[in-house]
Amino acid sequence: DTGVSQNPRHKITKRGQNVTFRCDPISEHNRLYWYRQTLGQGPEFLTYFQNEAQLEKSRLLSDRFSAERPKGSFSTLEIQRTEQGDSAMYLCASSWPRDSENPGNTIYFGEGSWLTVV
């Protein structure tokens, strides 16, 4: 069972540039999540996919952010025209469907992608 894989692990970019992060979930998981974590804070929910459908987006996900999961497998998170406030760790997570064996929706995280905007 390979875990959730994210790349790149670290990205330094200049303000105004676009960046893209990729997430490969655990293979049998059909749910995929993006979270953002800044220093001293817990992860904050950004968006959620079930298969290829993006079913929920946080207000934190501004128009400069777009996430896709075109074939229901890997996902990408793109940030356009980056700002210094976008500097954070972007965490991807995945889970099985919520059912009787997973009523609480246990999610499993990747190692995260660090973004530094200079």
Contact residues toward another protein (CB under 8 A) are 4, 6, 31, 33, 40-45, 48, 50, 55-56, 91, 98, 103-112, 114
Q: In the complex with another protein, which residue's Cβ is closer, 62 or 105?
A: 105
Q: In the complex with another protein, which residue's Cβ is closer, 79 or 112?
A: 112
CA nearest neighbour of 74 among 115, 26, 10, 106: 26
For residue 76, the minimal CB distance to another protein (Å) is 18
Question: How far is Cα 34 from Cα 41, in angstroms, rounded to an integer?
Answer: 15
Provide the 3-class DSSP secondary structure of residue 84.
Answer: helix
